[in-house]
Amino acid sequence: MSSHDTHHAPPPRPRVWSGVERALAAVGISGKALVIAAPAIWLTVFFLVPLAVVFGISLTIKQFGRPPYTPLLTNEEGTVQLTLHLNNYLRLFTDQLYVAAYLNSAKIAFISTVITLLIGYPMAYVIGRAPDQWRNILLMLVILPFWTSFLLRVYALSGFMRGNGVINQFLALFGIEPLVMMQTDFAVYVGIVYTYLPFMILPLYTNLVKLDGTLLEASADLGARPVRTFLSITLPLSMPGILAGSMLVFIPAIGEFVIPALLGGPGTLMIGRVLWDEFFANTNWPRAAAVAIAMLVVVVIPVMLLQRAQDAMRDKEQAS
């Protein structure tokens, strides 16, 4: 029997997938539609709808009960009534706390981004220009913290800066009084720079490693001093890397919660922390929702538009 069967070589390949395809086609669904639909439905249900729910709840007010907010729709004697409250949004503008928190978050995120750039640029430059065998090791040293737990790195930093921490013990060797670093805005800046430094270095490195060394030599041969060469050649050419790295630091920093909560003092106002406290400490869900919607409009949407503009610019450059 088996010897007879071998005449029918080559053996038939499994037909499972085409079977599945035919079955779907019979119901009127193409494979293509299915590929698009699966992620699209997931994102609609678990990303877009939640944002709509947040907006809806931002128009209610806090009440005691489950859930802890007033219903949007009420049914009174057969007529459905829609009740919208604008109190939460009015409070965002009238209560100094919220305005100050938004402004302070933007300030802290901006200054930390600039400091991260100033520290990360020379590091990325050195890695990009290092001989091959060194470059791999240095790059690995940047990637390692990138994969290490964010929370644990903030914790490591707090152990380093606290009253009886390593820095103060080191200073004590020289008879210097201990510095108060924890629970201050200073600690928040150090925390953001420390945790996001790899995010700045990696895009800068990918940009600087492509820098054509002959341009720098030509500039030096023509008598330009190193500073001049840097300002007129290296810096302009590395602009895309600077922008990419800065966005990767600024965006997460502005909504940061963990760093101000663990390193900052009670006076360190940041909007992520304000939202958290409205929700967990005050259990004011509608207010937290309004803070989130305001954050979305003031921070997230401009950032997305900026990124789109940046992408369009890059595509244009690549096309030309």
Partner 1 sequence: MRRSWFLTIAATLGFAFLYAPIISLVVFSFNESSLVTVWSGFSTKWYGALLADPQILGAAWLSLQVAFVAATIAVVLGTLCAVALVRFRRFRGRTMLAATVAAPLVMPDVITGLSLLLLFVAMEGIFGWPAGRGLMTIIIAHATFCMAYVVVVVQSRLTDLDLSLEEAAMDLGATPVRVFFDITLPIIAPALISGWLLAFTLSLDDLVIASFVSGPGSSTLPMVIFSKVRLGVSPDVNALATIIIGFVTLGVVAATLLQRRSRPKHPLP
Given the complex with partner 1, which of 2 and 114 has the nearer CB atom? 114
Q: What's the rounded Cα separation, in Å, for the pair 308 and 281?
A: 37
Whichever of 7 and 66 has its CB closer to partner 1, that residue is 66
Assess 17 for contact with partner 1 (CB under 8 A): yes
HEC string for 15-79: CHHHHHHHHHHHHCCCHHHHHHHHHHHHHHHHHHHHHHHHHHHHCCCECCCCCCECCCEEEECCE
Give the dihedral sign, CA 123/240/110/102. negative
Query: Binding of partner 1 at residue 307 (CB under 8 A)?
Result: yes
Q: Which is nearer to partner 1, 185 or 254 (CB)?
A: 254
Helix (H) or strand (E) holding 81: strand 79-82
18 binds partner 1 (CB under 8 A): yes
Give, as ranges, the residues between 151 and 170 that touch partner 1 (CB under 8 A): 151-153, 155-160, 162, 164-166, 169
Question: Which range in 4-12, 91-99, 233-241, 302-310 contacts partner 1 by CB under 8 A?
Answer: 302-310
Distances from the Cα of 95 to the Cα of 90, 288, 289, angstroms = 8, 14, 16
Give whichever of 242 and 275 is closer to partner 1, judged by the CB atom. Answer: 275
Task: Point out which span in 76-84, 92-100, 147-155, 235-243 binds partner 1 (CB under 8 A).
Answer: 147-155
Size, binding site for partner 1 by CB under 8 A: 90
Residues numbered 190-209 forming contacts with partner 1, rule: CB under 8 A: 194, 197-198, 206
Pairing of β 73-76 and β 79-82: antiparallel
For the four alpha carbons of 224, 225, 226 and 231, in that order, the dihedral sign comes to: negative
Considering only residues 85 to 144 of the shown chain, the ones binding partner 1 according to CB under 8 A are: 119-120, 122-123, 125-127, 132, 135-136, 138-144
Residue 140 vs 173, nearer CB to partner 1: 140
Nearest CA-CA partner of 246 in 153, 124, 104, 147: 124
CB of 39 to partner 1, least distance (A): 4
Binder among 23, 29, 31, 171 for partner 1 (CB under 8 A): 31
CA atoms within 13 A of residue 279's CA, in its CB half-sphere = 15
Pick one of 251, 259, 260, 269: the residue that binds partner 1 (CB under 8 A): 251
Kindly state whether residue 63 participates in binding partner 1, applying the rule CB under 8 A.
no
Binding pattern for the stretch 253-272 against partner 1, x by CB under 8 A and - elsewhere: -xxxxx--xx---------x
* Cα 24 from chain centre: 39
Q: Applying CB under 8 A, does 310 fall inside the site for partner 1?
A: no
Burial of 234 (0-12, 13-18, 19+ CB in 10 A): middle
Rounded to a whole number of angstroms, the minimum distance from the CB of residue 1 to partner 1 is 30
Q: Give the footprint of partner 1 on residues 206-235 (CB under 8 A).
A: 206, 226
Element holding 215 (H helix, E strand): helix 213-221
Q: Which two tokens stand for residue 118?
A: 């100033």
